[in-house]
Chains A and B, each alone.
Chain A
Amino acid sequence: MHELSIVMSIIEIATTQMEGADASEIEEIELEIGALSGVEENSFEFAWKQAVRNTPLQNAVRKINHIEGLATCLDCMIDFSITQLYDACPVCGGHFLNIKKGKELKVKSLVVN
């Protein structure tokens, strides 16, 4: 359940940013979560509901940009999409990969008031 720690960090970042912007409420929060980031969506959802109570994020609309995994095979130098870290290159079947996208875990923006 590391998702709870993740949600707590999001609350902390959002609260700091809101206060820094001299605002008193957060209407919207935009997150970026990669498919390979290690966040399990159901757990995240569960943790979110409990953790945002009585915080500035309580009534915020949450938008999640899901980023698909993208890797380069370092033997063939071709890019291909992956859903798991152990996916093989579709050309050579190798596992010598550079993960280019999918590890994202970010607070992108807020709409504050």
Chain B
Amino acid sequence: MCATCGCSADGSVTMHIPGQENNQDHNHGHDHSHSHGKRIVDVEQDILQQNNLLAERNKGYFDAKNILALNLVSSPGSGKTTLLEKTLTDLKGQLTFAVIEGDQQTTNDADRIHATGTKVTQINTGKGCHLDAHMVLHAIQGMKPKNDSVLFIENVGNLVCPAMFDLGEKERVVIISVTEGDDKPLKYPDMFFTSTLCIINKIDLLPYVPFSIEKVKENAKKINRNLPIIEVSCTTGAGLQEWYDWLKSKVLAPELV
């Protein structure tokens, strides 16, 4: 943990909760400040509060700079990076982009994004299975994304852990590919519950796999009734326009051109 963002392990960010005695000054008023003996401390604190506070901070930064932040989540191999490459290339000159890449190891994805001419930062989580708000905070401190830009945060490929960690994003996009099972939403309900858009990728492979688009939609809607679903193929380009339109509809700033 670091000290610069107020999230150091020695607790420089603390919450004061009514009914809880954590005020040093308060203790001086008592005669028995040396040995309090056994006592109960009412904590009532959300375990993810530290992450959520930092996520709110990121959110404030994004709002102030009118940055549209999107958290891209999926299992490994669904085509997140390819979808990003395609998007960054096709919409070049129309929107300003920045990308944060999250992977356990390597800068392979960041290198691919860099090749499109987009500003990119790679976060390597080491053994970590998800990005958290703290990592994103430091990434944006380093990369300083421009005002009115679109920031893609490509999370670690994992449909379980990233669901619990708010990064301060405005939209959470879950991507699945047709080479996965159409019961994926039911297997990983938390991710589909918290997402605001679902992209079904690799639809050009539909003739070769036993994947039912209707089934997957039905399953996703069981968890998140209003989840919009867009079907795309990064290979043929099918459906990409719909994704670009959705993306542009979320951008509040005027387009560059």
Binding site for B on A (CB under 8 A): 1-2, 5-6, 9-10, 12-23, 27, 31, 38, 84-86, 88, 95-96, 105-113
Q: Mark B23-50, 1 if CB is under 8 A from A, else 0.
A: 1100100000100111111111111111
Which residues from A are CB-within-8-Å of B164? Answer: 2, 6, 38
Asked, given contacts A2-B129, A112-B39, whether A21 binds B47 with beta carbons under 8 Å apart, the answer is no
- Closest CB-CB distance, B6 to chain A, in whole Å? 13
On whether the beta carbons of A107 and B43 are closer than 8 Å, the reply is yes
B195 at the interface (CB under 8 A from A): no
Closest 7 CB pairs of A and B: A20-B22, A2-B161, A16-B11, A85-B189, A86-B222, A110-B41, A107-B43
CB<8 Å pairs between A and B, sample of 17: A2-B164, A5-B132, A5-B161, A6-B47, A9-B50, A13-B47, A13-B49, A15-B11, A17-B20, A22-B33, A84-B189, A86-B219, A86-B222, A86-B223, A107-B47, A108-B43, A109-B44
CB distance from B188 to the nearest CB of A (A): 10
Whether B122 is near chain A, meaning CB under 8 Å from some CB there, is no
Most chain A CB atoms below 10 A, which of B27, B47, B186: B47
* B38 touches which of A19, A106, A111 (Cβ 8 Å): A111
User: Given A2-B164, A85-B190, A86-B222, does the pair A13, B40 have CB atoms closer than 8 Å?
Assistant: no
- Residue interface mask B8-26, A partner, CB < 8 A = 1: 0101001000001111100
A109 and B33 within 8 A (CB): no
Determine whether the beta carbon of B46 is less than 8 Å from that of A105: yes
Q: Are A2 and B160 in contact (CB under 8 A)?
A: yes
Candidates B27, B36, B190, B219; contact of A38 at CB < 8 Å? B190
Q: Is A19 a contact partner of B129 (Cβ separation < 8 A)?
A: no
Indicate which residue in B14, B160, B161, B186 contacts A20 across the interface (CB closer than 8 Å). B14
A-B residue pair count with CB separations less than 8 angstroms = 119
CA distance A23 to B27 in the complex (A): 12
Q: Is the CB of B48 within 8 A of A9?
A: yes
Q: Does B61 contact A (CB under 8 A)?
A: no
Interchain CB contact under 8 A, B190 and A12: no
B138 CB within 8 Å of chain A: no
- Report whether B36 and A21 are in contact in the complex, using a CB–CB cutoff of 8 Å: yes
CB nearest neighbor in A for B191: A38
Closest partner residue, chain A, to B226 (CB atom): A96
- Is B41 within 8 A of A12, CB to CB? no
Q: Do residues A21 and B44 form an inter-chain contact, with CB atoms below 8 A?
A: no
CB distance from A70 to the nearest CB of B (A): 16
Apart from A5-B161, A111-B40, A112-B39, list 11 A-B contacts with CB within 8 A. A12-B9, A13-B47, A13-B49, A17-B22, A21-B36, A38-B163, A84-B189, A85-B192, A108-B42, A108-B43, A109-B44
Please report which residues of chain B, range 170-211, place their CB below 8 angstroms from some CB of chain A when the two chains form the complex: 185-186, 189-190, 192-193
Contact partner of A27 among B27, B38, B46, B190, CB < 8 A?
B38
Query: Complex: how many Å from CA A105 to CA B160?
Result: 16
Q: How far is the CA of A62 from the CA of B111 in the complex (A)?
A: 46
Q: Is B250 an interface residue (CB 8 A)?
A: no
The interface residues of chain A lying within 8 Å CB-to-CB of B193 are 85
Pair A95/B190 contact, Cβ less than 8 Å: no
